[in-house]
Amino acid sequence: MAVRLTHVTRLRVAVCQIDQVVGDLEGNARRIEESLAIAERSGADLALFPELAVTGYPPEDLLLKTGFVADNLAIAQKLAALTGKTRAVFGFIDAGESGELYNAAAMCGGGSVLAVHHKRLLPNYGVFDEQRYFTPGAGDPPVVQIGDLCVGMAICEDVWSSAGPVGAMVRRGAELVVVINASPYSMGRLAERVSVVAERAVQEHCPLVYVNLVGGQDELVFDGGSFALDATGSVVHRAARFVEEVVIWDLSLSVTGAAGGGEGTYTKVAWRADPAVRLLPTACEDPEEEVFCALVTGTRDYVLKNQFTDVVIGLSGGIDSSLVAVIAVAALGPEHVHGVAMPSRYSSDGSITDAAELAGHLGIDLLQIPIERAHSAFSQMLEEPLGGPPTGLTEENLQSRIRGVILMSLSNSRGWMVLTTGNKSELATGYSTLYGDTAGGFAVLKDVPKTLVYDLARSINRWAERDLIPQSVLEKPPSAELRPGQRDDQSLPAYEVLDPVLDAYVEQDMTVAQIVDSGVDPELACKVARLVDRAEYKRRQTPPGVRVTPKAFGKDRRVPITNRYLSRGEQEPQRPLRKSR
């Protein structure tokens, strides 16, 4: 490799942190064109777009459709033809001569494709299934000259391994490496990204620019948070999180041979899309703000990208439905959120007044539809086949299912998506009713443990500087109110005791023996594991919801429903599964 003299070069980079829709090839292309036009007007040398920006991420089994791949290639060629002086790097699906598919990045300029990089490291863990679809790239990774600077391209996982292609790019003369990404959000993920990419910058003594996707796609949320690092691993620029924007960064790079230093001279926001109706000011500076932003982003995009405008929520006066209502208003605006109170013979007066007070604070309409007549009619209808009026669990679930029918009827009639209100602690333990409180289109709190629900509610009131969620809602004991005097802690351990055990069993994949060894009471550990295992069939029938933890139910955690493995250190007799709460 030829050694060049030390020199300082400047590069203007447009980081296009955009929100794409899986499968909307034409719409995605328009978003790229709009952002590229901003980059051109700003005099950018280089415009960066996220991983698979043409198709949206993840396209999943759309990749099995040859027509989809062909259409994506046609769009990629069209975008390449539109490029001018500004070089553009965007993600697309490339196809080999034998039909193999590649997760690819193209660098384009002057109306043509200048180089293509095929992703080398294909993640196949957690929510990722890239080895199901893609072939890993091979050969020498491309390095492209931009002015007097050599630039390499990497794609997401490529930069996570010290043995990845970044080193090869630097050895081939790269003085800057740009990384395009579709890295989904979970709590603490941004810090992990920065740490890993900083390691790579230091290892190769080369600055890197990291651009990430933003927006919601089914249960995944992409949080943006793009950044630039100098060769010492220090962050010199950051983009906003959970916000779609194009930012212009001027990089000043000190280069000797293939090793790059560098710093950013300034940041300028060129364009920013309004991501949501902002109910509360959030900067994502603490864990609760971060999770709140993720829940708002995921809810907004799931509703709007699936062509709904309004949502309906069963407001019980409890903490879960109150939090869902706040998130929905932040995502869509109060005029698009509708509450329904459905009191029963067991509902307390406070549940109705708390729901009404919350609706007033949020500025949403509230319908009140008592369920007593339907409850009585069903009870009479079932009395003969059941050998008496419904009692116990049967009667409790009947009330929940009546409420589900009401909400789905409003959905059918008004075109509103039903947002369910169950939290992760309830779904983990099966403390839910199939076709009742699980009936709906999107489960906002599906990955939010009950203790975090309370933390978020208190934080919301702190941000609002008033009791947006009534204090009485925060103080009352959690209850489904399906029988007289019912409380959650009559069926489950207290949530502050339950949630750490669930975290160990579900998210850390610990066995019961390991949980007991960590100091948890054996009876408690066995009970929680039994509840989680037996509720798997329920969770498979619940709607998708926002992923905020490193291991959510759904794509992350895939446990067989029919499963006789006991990790409790004892062989229990087989017991029939209870098909309801």
Q: Rounded CA gap, 485 and 347, in Å?
A: 10
- The residues pairing with 117 across neighbouring beta strands, listed in sequence order, are 105
CA distance 24 to 3: 46
Q: What share of the chain is helix, strand, coil (3-state, %, to 5)?
A: 40, 20, 40
The 3-state secondary structure of 44-57 reads CCEEECCCCCCCCC
Residue 51 known to be catalytic: yes
* 450 included as an active-site residue: no
| DSSP label at residue 391 | -
Q: What angle do CA 375, 380, 385 make, to 5 degrees?
A: 120
Long-range contacts of 567-576 (CB under 8 A, 24+ apart): 567/511, 567/512, 567/513, 567/529, 568/512, 568/513, 568/525, 568/526, 568/529, 568/530, 569/512, 569/513, 569/516, 570/526, 572/530
How many helices (H) and strands (E) would you count in the chain? 17, 21
Distances (CA, A) of 487 to 324, 325, 580: 21, 22, 18
Q: Which residues lie below 8 Å from residue 85, measured CB to CB, with a gap of 6+? A: 40, 109, 110
With beta carbons less than 8 A apart as the criterion, state whether 359 and 339 touch.
Answer: yes
- Residue 80: closest CA among 40, 101, 110: 110
Decide: 303 and 252 in contact? Cβ < 8 Å.
no
The residue whose two tokens read 């999107």 is 442
Q: How many CA atoms lie within 13 A of 67 on its CB side?
A: 1
C-alpha–C-alpha distance, residues 87 and 387, integer Å:
76
- One DSSP character per residue, 323-355 reads HHHHHHHHHH-GGGEEEEE---TT--HHHHHHH
Between CA 64 and CA 77 the distance in angstroms is 21
Options 119, 305, 527, 555, the catalytic residue? 119
Q: Of 16, 108, 150, 156, which residue is the catalytic one? A: 156
Q: Is 100 a catalytic residue?
A: no
- Residues belonging to the active site: 51, 119, 156
